[in-house]
Amino acid sequence: MNEKVHYAEKLFDPRWIEKKKQILNRDNKKCVICGKSEGKLHIHHKQYHFIKRLQIHVEPWNYDNKLLITLCESCHSRGHYRFKVPIKYI
């Protein structure tokens, strides 16, 4: 299975949905960069974790909240275009 498709499917998991609600509430349902609250808001991982011995990424919902932020669609796209999300190997 394509890894990106597999990741996209995980975003429908109830554990991710709950984590997303927590982060949206913490960030007052606004983009932390531009303050936009309308439109589609994304939860962005500031860092990815990869478990070397298992050769897998940590599940999207198993990150500390401090590594997740709310971004509007525009800021999220611009950020991924300009910067690569760092990967921490654990």
21 membership: H or E segment, kind and range? helix 14-26
Residue 4 has pLDDT above 80, yes or no: no
With H, G, I as helix, E, B as strand and everything else as coil, classify residue 55.
coil
> How close are the terminal C-alpha atoms of the chain, in Å?
24
**For position 1, what pLDDT does the model report?**
44
- Do 71 and 33 meet the contact criterion of CB atoms below 8 Å apart? yes
**For position 77, what pLDDT does the model report?**
95
Q: State the chain's mean pLDDT as an integer.
A: 93
Task: Tell me the pTM.
Answer: 0.88
**For position 3, what pLDDT does the model report?**
61
- Do 69 and 27 meet the contact criterion of CB atoms below 8 Å apart? yes
**For position 81, what pLDDT does the model report?**
86
Q: Tens of pLDDT along 28-48? A: 999 999 999 999 999 999 999
